[in-house]
């Protein structure tokens, strides 16, 4: 399920790139997350009439708010960082979240990752560098902003991993998406000014990203993280540049360089290493002893 989410995210790059070329970025994010919230509302309201414990929706407000702040911060840091740095640098620096998640998981959630996860993270990080990194890595203002994006996305994964087992997937996902929509509108009104009416291409991109890349994606992430670890989630999300490269080739004919192909291979290898570690650990736990 998480791999499908990552594939969808990778497929949005071309569509969104064309949409925001002529439309304010933060306003686009506000429309995207508003549509995503509207899609989710029927799922959220339907159980309210029959719920035996309506208080559980109130209890999810604070966790949703915390997650939405980190999620919005990630998108905001990444968007404004791209004004001062290259997309290649931004892609690699954002990928540092793959390394930050196991560190944060060990420090804050007391979940030390297994050895296979560490090796998988190392391979995925090298793969991200090979796939996306161009030029030097001198610290520029844009690089620092995108580093804030990586930290924010890592925090979002950790928070979802912490709260997902305690709450229903739908209200938790709706809460964080609605929170991002509200924050996006506040920032958009302050930065972009009064919103203009989007064109057809912007509406298509907002609808596609709002329904598939936001509503479905965050519900699936919240649902899946009830059954897996934050480190495993981050490692799968590291494949997003792979899918972005594939869709760029299929949709606009962008060619993969030999180094990019090597990067794709390393990231996929990192996934397999981590998956095999999880599978072996579960098999050992399931094998009777004595």
Average pLDDT over residues 1-13: 81
Q: What is the pLDDT of residue 183?
A: 94
Q: What is the pLDDT of residue 289?
A: 47
Angle of helix 2-20 relative to helix 217-224, nearest 10 degrees?
150
Pick from 31-45, 49-63, 256-270: least confident: 49-63
Cα–Cα distance for residue pair 129/92, rounded to 1 Å: 6
Average pLDDT over residues 136-147: 72
Spatial contact of 63 and 175, defined as CB atoms under 8 Å apart: yes
Work out the mean pLDDT of the chain and round it to a whole number: 78
Cα–Cα distance for residue pair 87/93, rounded to 1 Å: 10
Instruction: List pLDDT tens digits, range 14-36.
Output: 777 777 777 888 998 899 999 99
Confidence tier at 155 by pLDDT (50, 70, 90): very high
Q: Is the per-residue pLDDT at 278 higher than 60?
A: no
Q: Is the per-residue pLDDT at 119 higher than 90?
A: no
Q: Is the per-residue pLDDT at 3 higher than 80?
A: yes
**Greater model confidence, 254 or 126:** 126
Q: What is the pLDDT of residue 261?
A: 82
Structure tokens at 229: 């670890």
Instruction: List pLDDT tens digits, range 209-260.
Output: 899 988 888 778 777 777 777 767 777 877 777 787 787 788 777 777 788 7
Spatial contact of 232 and 272, defined as CB atoms under 8 Å apart: no
Confidence tier at 128 by pLDDT (50, 70, 90): confident
This prediction has a pTM of 0.76
Average pLDDT over residues 101-119: 76
Q: Hey, which of 30-34, 110-114, 236-240, 283-287 has the most confident mean pLDDT? A: 30-34
> What is the separation, in whole angstroms, between the first and last Cα of the chain?
36
Least Cα distance to 204 among 196, 195, 213, 193 occurs for: 213
Percent over 90 (pLDDT), the chain: 13
Average pLDDT over residues 44-69: 71
Q: Is the per-residue pLDDT at 50 higher than 50?
A: no
Q: Is the per-residue pLDDT at 47 higher than 70?
A: no
Task: Give the Å distances, CA to CA, from 40 to 36, 80, 156, 175.
Answer: 6, 28, 20, 10
Hey, where are the domains in the chain? 2-45+60-281
Which residues are CB-contacts of 190 (< 8 A; sequence separation ≥ 6)? none
Angle of helix 115-132 relative to helix 97-108, nearest 10 degrees?
150
**Greater model confidence, 261 or 33:** 33
Least Cα distance to 145 among 216, 85, 199 occurs for: 85
Cα–Cα distance for residue pair 101/155, rounded to 1 Å: 7
Q: Is the per-residue pLDDT at 263 higher than 90?
A: no
**Greater model confidence, 244 or 284:** 244
């Amino acid at each position: 399920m998480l791999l499908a989410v990552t594939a969808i995210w990778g497929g949005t790059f071309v569509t969104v790139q064309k949409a925001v070329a002529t439309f304010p970025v933060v306003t686009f994010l506000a429309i995207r997350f508003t549509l995503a919230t509207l899609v989710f509302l029927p799922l959220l309201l339907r159980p309210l009439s029959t719920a035996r414990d309506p208080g559980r929706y109130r209890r999810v407000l604070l966790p949703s708010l915390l997650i939405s702040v980190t999620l919005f911060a990630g998108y905001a840091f990444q968007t404004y960082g791209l004004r001062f740095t290259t997309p290649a640098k931004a892609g690699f620096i954002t990928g540092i979240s793959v390394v930050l998640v196991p560190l944060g998981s060990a420090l804050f959630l007391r979940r030390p990752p297994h050895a296979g996860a560490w090796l998988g993270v190392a391979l995925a990080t090298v793969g991200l560098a090979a796939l996306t990194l161009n030029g030097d890595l001198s610290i520029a203002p844009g690089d620092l902003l995108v580093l804030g994006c990586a930290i924010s996305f890592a925090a979002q994964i950790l928070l979802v991993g912490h709260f997902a087992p305690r709450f229903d997937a739908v209200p938790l996902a709706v809460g964080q998406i609605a929170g991002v929509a509200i924050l996006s509108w506040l920032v958009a009104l302050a930065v972009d000014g009064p919103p203009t009416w989007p064109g057809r291409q912007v509406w298509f991109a907002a609808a596609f990203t709002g329904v598939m890349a936001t509503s479905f994606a965050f519900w699936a992430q919240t649902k899946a993280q009830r059954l897996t670890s934050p480190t495993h989630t981050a490692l799968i999300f590291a494949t997003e540049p792979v899918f972005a490269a594939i869709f760029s080739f299929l949709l606009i004919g962008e060619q993969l360089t030999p180094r990019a192909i090597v990067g794709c291979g390393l990231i996929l290898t990192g996934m397999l290493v981590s998956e095999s570690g999880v599978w072996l650990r579960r098999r050992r736990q399931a094998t009777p002893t004595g």
